[in-house]
Amino acid sequence: MAGGKLSGKATETVEFLDYVLHQCDHLAGAVEEFASAKKPAQADWARQGIARELGHLRQRAMVKNLGVLADEIGRLGVLASGGGSPQMKTRILRDGVSSMKAACERMRKATIDSDKAEQATKAHTTEGE
């Protein structure tokens, strides 16, 4: 985490976003497992696992009141569970996981920056009194 203390809510949000980033790495591995599956049953099993994990992540993001991230995860979950050729689905999932990871990193940085700015504003206001 960045230097200095964050508020409780910001700390909770950053910790959840760190968890999502970890899950993105896990999902990227699952996508590669899907891409390298030799039998259709193996590919289907991997795809269902990816869709299920995305559903769980979406629910957790909704509970944490991170609707934008939950929408992105949900969109990727719908794409994972939809039809299409394995090659197309692999490309979509790879791109989706990388964009979800980038969005999560941006959200994490924005959370830290806004909390630091809010704390600086509060400190400046209390000094003036």
- Domain ranges within the chain, ordered by starting residue: 8-128
C-alpha distances in angstroms, 81 versus 7, 15, 72, 92?
A: 38, 28, 15, 11
Confidence (pLDDT) at 85: 87
The mean pLDDT of the chain is 90
The answer, yes or no, to whether residue 25 has pLDDT greater than 90, is: yes
The answer, yes or no, to whether residue 81 has pLDDT greater than 90, is: no
pTM of this prediction?
0.85
Amino acid at 47: R
CA distance 86 to 35: 7
- Residue 84 is classified by DSSP as S
Which stretch of DSSP H or E encloses residue 101? helix 86-128
**CATH assignment, 8-128:** 1.20.120
